[in-house]
C-alpha cells in the first residue's frame, strides 16, 4: 500500500507525542523518587544535595548521549532538587 509524505509525517508525529507523554511521566516519577531520597537524607541530618551522586548521573548521561546528555542530566537534576 502506498502512502503520502503527509501521512508518514502525521503518523510519526503521533508516535513522537506518545513518546513525549511517556518521557514526561517518567520525569514526574523520577522527581517523586528523588524527593523520597532527599527527604530521607534531610530527616537523618544530611544535606539535600549529594554532589558525588550527581557526578555519576552526569557521566551516565554523557556516556549515553554525548555532550548534550550532560545538559539534559543537569536539567533533570534541577527539576528533581531545585536550583543550587
> Contact between 77 and ligand PRE (CB under 6 A)?
yes
Q: Cβ of residue 55: shortest distance to ligand PRE, in angstroms? A: 9
Residue nearer to ligand PRE on the CB measure, 11 or 63:
63
Residue nearer to ligand PRE on the CB measure, 10 or 24:
24
Rounded to an integer, what distance in angstroms lies between the CA atom of residue 79 and that of residue 28? 9
Residue nearer to ligand PRE on the CB measure, 8 or 40:
40
68: Cβ–Cβ under 8 A, 6 or more apart, which residues? none
> Contact between 62 and ligand PRE (CB under 6 A)?
no
> Contact between 74 and ligand PRE (CB under 6 A)?
no
In the complex, the residues that contact ligand PRE under the rule CB under 6 A are 34, 37-38, 49-50, 53-54, 57, 77, 80-81
Amino acid at each position: 500500500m502506498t502512502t503520502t509524505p503527509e501521512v508518514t509525517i502525521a503518523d510519526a508525529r503521533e508516535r513522537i507525542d506518545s513518546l513525549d507523554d511517556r518521557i514526561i511521566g517518567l520525569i514526574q516519577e523520577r522527581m517523586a523518587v528523588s524527593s523520597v531520597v532527599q527527604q530521607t537524607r534531610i530527616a537523618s541530618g544530611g544535606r539535600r544535595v549529594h554532589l558525588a551522586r550527581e557526578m555519576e548521573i552526569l557521566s551516565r548521561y554523557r556516556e549515553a548521549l554525548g555532550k548534550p546528555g550532560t545538559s539534559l542530566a543537569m536539567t533533570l537534576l534541577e527539576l528533581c532538587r531545585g536550583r543550587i
